[in-house]
Amino acid sequence: MIRSMKIKCYVAALIGLCVLFAGCGDSKTNDGIEAEKTAETLDGKADKATVGEADKATVGEADKATESYLKGRELAFGLNGRKINLERGMALLREAADLGSVDAKGELAELCLSDDSGLGYDLAVEAAEAGNPFGQFALAVYYQEGIEVVRDRDEAWELTRKAFVGFKERAMKKDPRATLHYLALASELELETFEDGQIKEMLREGANAKSAEAALMLGKYYNRIERDGDGKIWLQRAEEAEIEKLADKLGELAEILYCF
């Protein structure tokens, strides 16, 4: 912009000289007109370049947030066949959250429920206000247990119902983690009834997509219907992904999510 202003000053001076020597009053020479057009073009290009760079920076941050979220999600929850690495996974989710990823805030909030730093609550509030079901569910737990807030079971129930609707929508899009939350809440709170065949199919989709959590739940489901041989296979896969690390981190929340 400074450069374009200098160009404009120079052009103005040039126009003044042309008028003086030509004795044309307010009329402009062809050179003056062309110079003005050049200045306007340069100024416009400078403005467009500035906006373009800002847009690129915004897109770059969004891409980085998405990349960190997806990688962090894989490592934190054992998705796509990855072995669980909570420390690295949570660090990537935090990075994505700092870059504005609402999904990262919601899922990280669940992992921070057992912390006393207050981070989990802040993340849950931000994610819940943005309509994220993971954030709504985490915030419901805070209200249910009276952590960081005055206990309000009515608010907890309302948040849980909102989260359930959000999980159902995402489950229809084959998100394995949302599907597990959807099934778990439907079973735990009797919000919806499924036939055994439906449960098995949804769990198998997640397990076949190499979700450690889905493998654990499918294994427990098979054990429940006395198909211990099949159950053992899936439980072993969950164990190989070190699912116990995640279950320990989630604490009491794991008892709801892994209820089969």
**pLDDT of the residue at 141:** 94
High-pLDDT (> 90) share of the chain, %: 65
Residue 182: closest CA among 208, 213, 139: 213
Mean residue pLDDT of the chain comes to 83
- pLDDT grade for 32, boundaries at 50, 70 and 90: low
- In tens, the pLDDT along 63-110 reads 999 999 999 999 999 999 999 999 999 999 999 999 999 999 999 999
- The confidence band for 2, taking pLDDT boundaries of 50, 70 and 90, is very low
Predicted confidence (pLDDT) per residue in 135-156, tens digit: 999 999 999 999 899 999 999 9
CB-based contacts of 244-251 (< 8 A; 24+ apart in sequence): 245/84, 245/86, 246/76, 246/77, 246/78, 246/84, 246/86, 246/212, 246/213, 249/86, 249/111, 249/114, 250/110, 250/111, 250/113, 250/114, 251/113, 251/114
pTM: 0.76
Could you tell me which residue, 256 or 219, shows the higher pLDDT?
A: 219
* Separation between Cα atoms, residue 156 and residue 162, nearest integer Å: 10
Q: pLDDT for 154-172, tens place per residue? A: 999 999 999 999 999 999 9
